[in-house]
Amino acid sequence: MFITFKKYISEKTVLSDRDWAIIKPLCIIKKLRKQQYLLQEGEIWKYHAFVCEGCLRRYSIDEKGIEHIIQFVIENWWAGDRESLANETPSRYNIDAIENSAVLLIRKDNFDIICKKIPEFNELMNTILQRSLNASQLRIEAAISFTAEEKYLHFIKSFPNIANRVPRRMLASYLSITPETLSKIKNQITKK
């Protein structure tokens, strides 16, 4: 598990063995069974979380009890609730595992220590934050610009590796359409 993380970081920046000696003891590996929560609404999120293996989803639940999936997170991406983490406020999100998964956790305080001691790490994390923002912007654009069919086509084009791993109804939730509509759209497309 840890090796996945090390590989991920090493592809983006160069850290010394000494750096890794700082990082490694502060990492916690957590295995999640399918359906298991990583974070539940109302909790205060305290970690930076890197997904080594598996697939998670982050979602909110509205007053009608309907789940709205904000994000899927697969291996080599970061999970968690940055807002709750930064402001120390109760999270409005749930995060749970869609597949059996393994997550690498670093407590916020330890994470900050690493960032202070290792400027390259700090820099990389800012780059990643920047990328998250870019991804969010694309998601906003898709959500406000596309029809149901366009949203689906855009998604399978952008994330083919996620599309075939998540249940259809969850994909529908992510795309903000009903499972029935998604089913019909898929049907129409294959006819063409």
Partner DNA sequence: GCTTTCGCTTGATATTTATCAAGATGCTTT
Partner DNA sequence: AAAGCATCTTGATAAATATCAAGCGAAAGC
Of 60, 149, 162, 165, the residue at the interface with DNA (CB under 7 A) is 149
Q: Is 148 in the site for a second copy (CB under 8 A)?
A: no
Please state, in angstroms and as integers, the Cα–Cα distance from residue 17 to each residue in 6, 21, 24, 130, following that order: 11, 6, 10, 27
Measured from the CB atom, the residue of 6 and 184 that comes closer to DNA is 184
User: Across the strands, what pairs with 68?
Assistant: 60
Interacting residues with a second copy between 59 and 98 (CB under 8 A)? 60, 62, 66, 68, 70, 82-83, 86
Instruction: For residue 156, state whether it binds DNA (rule: CB under 7 A).
Output: no
Which of 34, 45, 178, 179 has its CA nearest to residue 107?
45
Of the candidate spans 53-61, 72-80, 82-90, 184-192, the one that interacts with DNA by CB under 7 A turns out to be 184-192
Q: Which H helix or E strand runs over 39?
A: strand 37-39
Tell me if 139 contacts a second copy by CB under 8 A: yes
The binder of 88, among a second copy, DNA, none, by C-beta within 5 to 8 A per type, is: none
Q: Which is nearer to a second copy, 16 or 127 (CB)?
A: 127
Residue 68 interacting entry, from DNA, a second copy, none, C-beta within 5 to 8 Å by type: a second copy
Rounded to an integer, what distance in angstroms lies between the CA atom of residue 186 and that of residue 151? 12
Q: What are phi and psi of 94, to 5 degrees?
A: -115, 145
DSSP structure string for 48-87 = EEEEEESEEEEEEE-TT--EEEEEEEETTSEES-HHHHHH
For a second copy, the binding residues (CB under 8 A) are: 60, 62, 66, 68, 70, 82-83, 86, 126-127, 129-130, 132-134, 136-137, 139-141, 143-145, 174, 176
Which residues contact DNA (rule: CB under 7 A)?
Answer: 147-149, 167-169, 176-184, 186-187
